Amino acid sequence: MATPTAADELSPVRERIVRAAVKLFAAKGFDGTTVQEIVTAAEVTKGALYHYYTAKEDLLYEIYRSLISIQMADLDRIIAEHADPADTVRAILVNLVETTAARVDETAVFVREMQKLDAECMTAFRAERRRYHETFRSVVEQAQATGRFSPTVSAETVVLIALGVVNQLPTWYRPDGPKSPDRLGNEIADFVLAGLGVGPSA
Amino acid sequence: MATPTAADELSPVRERIVRAAVKLFAAKGFDGTTVQEIVTAAEVTKGALYHYYTAKEDLLYEIYRSLISIQMADLDRIIAEHADPADTVRAILVNLVETTAARVDETAVFVREMQKLDAECMTAFRAERRRYHETFRSVVEQAQATGRFSPTVSAETVVLIALGVVNQLPTWYRPDGPKSPDRLGNEIADFVLAGLGVGPSA
DNA sequence: CTGGCCATACCGACTGGTCGGTATCGGGTA
DNA sequence: TACCCGATACCGACCAGTCGGTATGGCCAG
């Protein structure tokens, strides 16, 4: 266990390759990026890349897996930590904005190129996404049922709106912009909670 | 002027080509679609395509131009037609959802492949988008300044959220789903207006 | 200690096939 | 005939992936 190859740790070479791939895929798209460009940017050779990965598509898979596993773990943790639904929703949104802002390239690739995965990966990822979506929605639904949130708008629409902003975030978010991810997340949460009939902060 | 080549009218062949291109680009991406696939789907030949277009990229340009020009015209018309800001915001959102639902493929391509346009087209399109964004935002800002909308959330955030949902719409919207575009648009408008402190309908 | 052996990590020229785009010609219409 | 629309054959560039080979380092027998 001296070598950090366990679990999620990537060997330095693998990590350099994936990092380069993410940046290039985000900038030029999956099909628009050549394997040669990736290996040049990663300062490795084609042989090295194909030593670690069996196909270009594996890189996509690696990117998605790391992104989704983080988000799902965060969601479960947040729901376990908070009792009040307004707190929960706020925490979910702030966390989502923060992790997305920290991984803009990954998210951009995810949003734009998801459908390029082969059928079985697609199904798996759709299932994960669905679980995220439905977990989020049930938080809203339960709070509506117990009268904490206004029931006028459908929970489905709320979730669609909330996830919509986050997925579009890579298009407009700039790390050097005036608003920190934390503030951005809270502003979005303010708005969403206002739409659910909850006043700003408790 | 007997031939309908004027203004936005496309000759039958051109139209078939663009239609096929939109569908394929939406399904497989710009780089993932070959010119041969386009001409096969359009039931024309490569010669015909390159007779009307000088490059594959021209097809992207054509798609964007038609989408954006419609949206900009709608926006200007809607703002001219409505005096009350709540009505204006609702009308903008309903219209946006309806036109987007009617052109899911175009929007999907637009959102995903915009950056593949060359530098000058990009600049032009960014300017148009910016104008849309800022026009929308100023409607919200003015209503906040005159006390019609709650000033607690920044107008910028509201616009980002509203346009976020619409751009993501191609990912989840299904024409055969339970909700009509009109109803969807109104639900989104309900939520956005609630977030701005305006009760449902006037 | 040392020398032979093997596994893992990595190299980069090469290939089979594909793709965007072009050159050229036929055939219908005026 | 003249001209435009479209068909077909073709080209040069490029790309994902391969494959024969090298380098490094650990390990075990002598």
pLDDT in tens, A158-202: 999 999 999 999 999 999 999 999 999 999 999 999 999 987 654
Closest CA to B59 of B17, B103, B23, B28: B17
The identity of residue B158, as a single letter, is: V
* Distance of C1' in C25 from CA in B145, Å: 69
Q: Do B190 and A152 touch (CB under 8 A)?
A: yes
Res B56: pLDDT:
93
**DSSP 3-state helix, strand, coil percentages of chain B (rounded to 5)?**
75, 0, 25
Distance from CA of A111 to the nearest CA of B (A): 8
Instruction: Mutate one of A34, A153, A154, A179 to test the B interface: name it (highest B CB count within 10 A).
Output: A153
Within chain B, all domains assigned CATH 1.10.357.10 are found at 64-195
Distance from CA of A7 to the nearest CA of B (A): 32
Closest CA to A59 of A32, A25, A28, A36: A25
pLDDT of A6 over the 60 cut: no
Alpha helices in chain A (DSSP H): 12-28, 35-42, 46-52, 56-81, 85-102, 104-113, 119-145, 155-172, 181-195
Res A185: pLDDT:
97
Q: Decide if B164 contacts A162 (C-beta within 8 A).
A: no
pLDDT of A5 over the 50 cut: no
> Which of B29, B158, B166 has the CB atom closest to A31's CB atom?
B29
Residue A86 CA to residue A149 CA, distance in Å, equals: 8
Does residue A174 belong to the interface with chain B, where contact is any CB pair within 8 Å? no
Q: Decide if B120 contacts B61 (C-beta within 8 A).
A: no
The identity of residue B20, as a single letter, is: A
Closest CA to A68 of A120, A20, A12, A130: A130
Instruction: Mutate one of B23, B94, B153, B179 to test the A interface: name it (highest A CB count within 10 A).
Output: B153
Establish, for the pair of chains A and B, how many residue pairs have beta carbons separated by less than 8 Å: 97
Nucleotide nearest to A45 (CA to C1'): C11
The identity of residue B98, as a single letter, is: E
Residue B193 CA to residue B122 CA, distance in Å, equals: 32
Res A170: pLDDT:
96
Within chain A, all domains assigned CATH 1.10.10.60 are found at 11-54
Instruction: Mutate one of A24, A168, A183 to test the B interface: name it (highest B CB count within 10 A).
Output: A168
Condensed to tens digits (0 to 9), the pLDDT of residues A40-72 reads 999 999 999 999 999 999 999 999 999 999 999
Tokens of A96: 């989502």
Within chain B, all domains assigned CATH 1.10.10.60 are found at 1-54
Report the percent of chain B where pLDDT is more than 70.
Answer: 93
Residue B173 CA to residue B159 CA, distance in Å, equals: 20
Condensed to tens digits (0 to 9), the pLDDT of residues A145-164 reads 999 999 999 999 999 999 99
CATH homologous superfamily, domain A11-54: Homeodomain-like (1.10.10.60)
Q: Do A195 and B197 touch (CB under 8 A)?
A: no
pLDDT band, very low/low/confident/very high, at A8 (cuts 50, 70, 90): very low
Tokens of B29: 């991406």
Q: Which residues of B touch A163 (CB under 8 A)?
A: 168
Within chain A, all domains assigned CATH 1.10.357.10 are found at 61-195
Nucleotide nearest to B57 (CA to C1'): C20
Tell me, what DSSP letter sits at residue B142?
H
Which CATH code for domain A61-195? 1.10.357.10
Tell me, what DSSP letter sits at residue A31?
T
Torsion of CA A116, B115, A132, A84, to 10 degrees: 170
Give me the sign of the Cα torsion angle B30, B163, A68, A106: positive
Condensed to tens digits (0 to 9), the pLDDT of residues B103-147 reads 999 999 999 999 888 888 889 889 999 999 999 999 999 999 999
Q: Decide if A162 contacts A185 (C-beta within 8 A).
A: no
Residue A129 CA to residue B85 CA, distance in Å, equals: 36
**C-alpha gyration radius of chain B:** 19
Write the Ramachandran bin of B197: left for phi over 0, alpha for psi from -120 to 50, otherwise beta. Answer: left
pLDDT band, very low/low/confident/very high, at B201 (cuts 50, 70, 90): low
CATH homologous superfamily, domain B1-54: Homeodomain-like (1.10.10.60)
Which CATH code for domain B64-195? 1.10.357.10
Does residue A145 belong to the interface with chain B, where contact is any CB pair within 8 Å? no
| B130: closest chain A residue by CA | A172
